[in-house]
A and B are shown apart, each in its own frame.
Chain A
Amino acid sequence: MSATLAPPSTGGAPSGSGAPGAGGRVRAALGHALRSREIAVAVVLVLVVAAATARNDSFLLSGDGWRDLLLTPSILLLLAAGQMLVIVTRSVDLSVGSTMALTAYLTGRLFIDQPGLPIPVVVLAGVAMGALLGVVNGVLVAYAGVPALVITLGTMYVYRGAMLSWAGSDRITADQMPKDFLSLGTSSLVGIPVLTILALLVVAAVGYYLHTARSGRELYAIGSDPDAARLYGLKVPTRVLTAFVLCGALAGLAGVLHAARYGSVSSSVGNGIELQAVGAAVIGGVAIFGGSGTVWGAAIGAVLLVTINRALPILGIPEFWQRAVVGALILGAVVLDRLLAARRARRLDEERED
């Protein structure tokens, strides 16, 4: 994967990337946009929404339709953004679903046991709890040198078991949580649900961090070649730990928002959502072996995943086939990546021979 990032040849590149003229720049930008995975997925998303709206215009145009379109993906959006941070460093975090369940239950518990607690404190407590669980993952992966898949598979069981023993047969319901908190899950600001705004802000912050911050760029370097990153002097364990802590914190936030959005916390919160988050990142063009991809891609992938689920019944496909379509989508994305990479490699080879 790293080999495809080789610098373009200097001699007579037909792509026009070397030409500083305005026309060349526009063409280069257009070519870049056409090759961009984010835009491709966004186009598919727009097509899905357009097709569903054409069939039944309440999918987009009614108040509820518009709200659901924006609101439903917000939780997976947060998880996909966190997962993407970890995948970029060539790891994976399977424990996000269990982390989310724990923080969702913590949120409900805090409201019941400490009725006077202000809402922001509860939200922060959830995020902090998620981050703490992320620290456990991160320390084990980064310092014990054990593959993330095994560690997070283990902590997935431990966290889920902890949540189940803590909750017992309890089920937290809407009337046990304050109205203001629940309205966070349903209220809107200028027509856009608050949860969506929150999720988009988080995605923007993560994107900005990955794009500009030195430590953010180092995550990519670690993912494309851990050995080279270490030889270059990067603090690999610290950075990997950072990625896991951020991923855990985002999963914690997702848990809090889940409690607000659905108004109830049962023991099955977040069951199996970890693979959906990985799937969203893969659809969005995040390479599963690290080093490439953007958080925008993962975010659009998450929105597409959720939206397709809602659009299929409207398009006349029975809802039972949703999962099969999602699977086909993930496979399609992986195959497409390979085809594009092969084409790029061939072009670089041809340029070298010229």
Chain B
Amino acid sequence: MSASTPTRGTAPVGLSKGEARTYASYARPAWQRWLLTRETAVILLLAVVFVWATSSVPNFDGPLTLYYLFLDLMPILLIALPMTLVIITGEIDLSVASTVVLTSAVTGLLTVDAGWGFGQAALVAIAVGALCGLFNGFLVGYVGLPSLAVTIGTLALYRGIAVGLLGTEAKTGFPEEWTDRVKERIGETSYPQVLVVFGVLAVVFVLLLHFSGFGRGVYEIGLNDEAARFSGVDVARTKLLLFVLAGAVSGLAGVYYTLRYDLARGDAANGLELQVIAAVLLGGVSIFGGRGALHGVVAGVLLIGVISSAMRLQGETENVTTIVIGLLLIASVVTPSLLSWVSGRLPAGVKGASARSRRT
């Protein structure tokens, strides 16, 4: 076995009928290809939940709800962008939350202890994040190690370095002009200004994934990395670049985290990596790679945000929200298999219509 082939994601036991790893059927009319997708389903669900919350959850339509919703979701929204690309290549990055903590620690040490200007410190932090990603990407892309194992290692390593640098201390007292800037709103609306940063990044990632040759390569790798190599995609370099992007964006999220809570400490962002991955998968990205789109992922993140925010306003505890999100994640991946199992038992006439649901 060559050095780079065994890096398939946690390949499942059920994936052997060969139905999952193909492009969408281009035999279908365009409107069906566009509308009958996982992404549409998530967006519809988001719309339904949003309408329900606005109409029947008290205070959901208040001016503060969306504002805090976006502030709270921002790290997940940001990191979900590069994570989508990483998962579409069939890899995974579990080290993003640790990168957030490490870069937050770097920001704290440089600004509070060393007296740097915050702008410079933030740039260094983002560079540190990119470096973390570079290390992951080198081991996965060029050494050919499984990303699951590598990033479990760097998950411990990066957070370990952050805790080692900070000890039990927490850095606080960041310049107020910066901490205020994070919380400012766009004009008189209830949207925070940081949404603009997310918007710009989202456009960049959409162009990169859906409208560039590089993005086609990302899908190729996820569908079959050997075929991708033969068709001229530089598999190792693509993976390296995606991990660097994931690291750099996590660095940005780390800077945001620091400012939002005016705090840099070693136990921040615990479990954030799994929240990001859950949101990405809920948004219709296949863990096997080769399938998924950014509009679905953004809808997936927002869906989680709206559900938790609405349930909190209804007086439900965090725990119930956790259960609902877990069930939603399971349902979203089990439904296609369930549909195809059902369609297998239906008479032949109905089969054509339901066979499409076998994809995903």
Residues of A near any B CB (own CB < 8 A): 1-4, 89-92, 94, 140-142, 144-151, 153-162, 164-165, 222, 226-227, 230, 236-237, 240, 271-272, 275, 278-279, 282, 288-289, 318, 320-331, 334-335, 338, 342, 345
Contacts of B318 in A (CB 8 A): 164
Q: Is B164 an interface residue (CB 8 A)?
A: yes
A143 to chain B, nearest CB (A): 8
Contact B329 A154 (CB under 8 A): yes
* A288 to B145 alpha-carbon distance, docked (Å): 10
Can you list 14 A-B contacts (CB < 8 A)? A145-B13, A146-B12, A147-B333, A156-B274, A160-B322, A230-B16, A237-B13, A275-B155, A282-B153, A288-B149, A328-B153, A328-B157, A334-B153, A335-B145
Contact A321 B14 (CB under 8 A): no
Contact A90 B1 (CB under 8 A): no
Given known A1-B1, A92-B148, A324-B157, contact A331–B139 (CB-CB < 8 A) = yes
Contact B148 A2 (CB under 8 A): no
Contacts of A328 in B (CB 8 A): 153, 157
Contact B1 A3 (CB under 8 A): yes
Encode contact with A along B318-343: 1 for CB under 8 Å, 0 otherwise. 11111101110110011001100000
Contact A145 B12 (CB under 8 A): yes
Contacts of A165 in B (CB 8 A): 317, 319-320, 323
B166 to chain A, nearest CB (A): 8
Q: Is B158 an interface residue (CB 8 A)?
A: yes
Contact A289 B156 (CB under 8 A): no
B-side binding surface: helix, strand, loop or mixed?
A: helix
B32 to chain A, nearest CB (A): 24
Contacts of A237 in B (CB 8 A): 13
A-side binding surface: helix, strand, loop or mixed?
A: helix
Contacts of A271 in B (CB 8 A): 270
Q: Is B83 an interface residue (CB 8 A)?
A: no
Q: In the complex, what residue of chain B is closest to A267 when comparing beta carbons?
A: B319
* A329 to B277 alpha-carbon distance, docked (Å): 25
Residues of B near any A CB (own CB < 8 A): 1, 3, 6, 8-16, 92, 94, 139, 143-146, 148-150, 152-161, 163-164, 166-168, 266, 270-271, 274, 277-278, 281, 287-288, 317-323, 325-327, 329-330, 333-334, 337-338
* A153 to B278 alpha-carbon distance, docked (Å): 7
B168 to chain A, nearest CB (A): 8
* A90 to B319 alpha-carbon distance, docked (Å): 31
Contacts of B164 in A (CB 8 A): 318, 320-321, 323-324
A96 to chain B, nearest CB (A): 14
Given known A91-B10, A318-B164, A335-B145, contact A157–B278 (CB-CB < 8 A) = yes
Contacts of B325 in A (CB 8 A): 157
Contact A142 B13 (CB under 8 A): yes
Q: Which of A158, A331, A342 makes the CB contact (< 8 A) with B150?
A: A331
Q: A154-B330, A240-B13 are in contact. List 5 more A-B contacts (CB 8 A).
A: A158-B322, A158-B327, A279-B152, A323-B163, A326-B160
Contacts of B8 in A (CB 8 A): 289
A169 to chain B, nearest CB (A): 10
Contact A338 B143 (CB under 8 A): yes
Contacts of A330 in B (CB 8 A): 149, 152-153, 156-157
Contact B160 A334 (CB under 8 A): no
Contact A144 B338 (CB under 8 A): yes
Contact A345 B278 (CB under 8 A): no
* A345 to B15 alpha-carbon distance, docked (Å): 28
A185 to chain B, nearest CB (A): 27
* A145 to B325 alpha-carbon distance, docked (Å): 20
Contacts of B11 in A (CB 8 A): 90, 147, 226, 289
Contact A331 B153 (CB under 8 A): yes
* A271 to B321 alpha-carbon distance, docked (Å): 18
* A133 to B274 alpha-carbon distance, docked (Å): 20
* A78 to B334 alpha-carbon distance, docked (Å): 30
Contacts of B155 in A (CB 8 A): 275, 327
Contacts of A334 in B (CB 8 A): 139, 145-146, 149-150, 153
A326 to chain B, nearest CB (A): 5
Q: In the complex, what residue of chain A is closest to B92 when comparing beta carbons?
A: A149
Contact A289 B326 (CB under 8 A): no
* A157 to B324 alpha-carbon distance, docked (Å): 9
* A161 to B322 alpha-carbon distance, docked (Å): 5
Contacts of B168 in A (CB 8 A): 320
Contact B156 A2 (CB under 8 A): no
Q: Which of B152, B319, B330 makes the CB contact (< 8 A) with A161?
A: B319
Considering the complex of A and B, which 3 residue pairs feature the smallest CB-CB distances, nearest first? A145-B14, A327-B157, A324-B160
Contacts of B287 in A (CB 8 A): 147, 149-150
Q: In the complex, what residue of chain A is closest to B161 when comparing beta carbons?
A: A324
Contacts of B139 in A (CB 8 A): 331, 334-335
Q: In the complex, what residue of chain A is closest to B328 when comparing beta carbons?
A: A154
Q: Which of A4, A91, A160, A326 makes the CB contact (< 8 A) with B12?
A: A91
B149 to chain A, nearest CB (A): 4
* A324 to B14 alpha-carbon distance, docked (Å): 36
* A294 to B148 alpha-carbon distance, docked (Å): 19
Contacts of A331 in B (CB 8 A): 139, 150, 153-154, 157
Contact B326 A156 (CB under 8 A): yes
Contact B10 A157 (CB under 8 A): no
Contacts of A147 in B (CB 8 A): 9-12, 15, 287-288, 333
Q: In the complex, what residue of chain A is closest to B341 when comparing beta carbons?
A: A144
A100 to chain B, nearest CB (A): 16
Contact B10 A324 (CB under 8 A): no
Contact A161 B320 (CB under 8 A): yes
Given known A149-B9, A150-B287, contact A338–B144 (CB-CB < 8 A) = yes
Contacts of B320 in A (CB 8 A): 161, 165
A224 to chain B, nearest CB (A): 11
Contacts of B150 in A (CB 8 A): 331, 334
Given known A147-B287, A226-B16, A335-B143, contact A323–B159 (CB-CB < 8 A) = yes
Contact B158 A157 (CB under 8 A): no
Contacts of A327 in B (CB 8 A): 153-160
* A331 to B168 alpha-carbon distance, docked (Å): 25
Contact A150 B281 (CB under 8 A): yes
Q: Which of A146, A321, A323 makes the CB contact (< 8 A) with B337?
A: A146
Q: In the complex, what residue of chain B is closest to A227 when comparing beta carbons?
A: B16
* A158 to B146 alpha-carbon distance, docked (Å): 28
Contacts of B157 in A (CB 8 A): 323-324, 326-328, 330-331
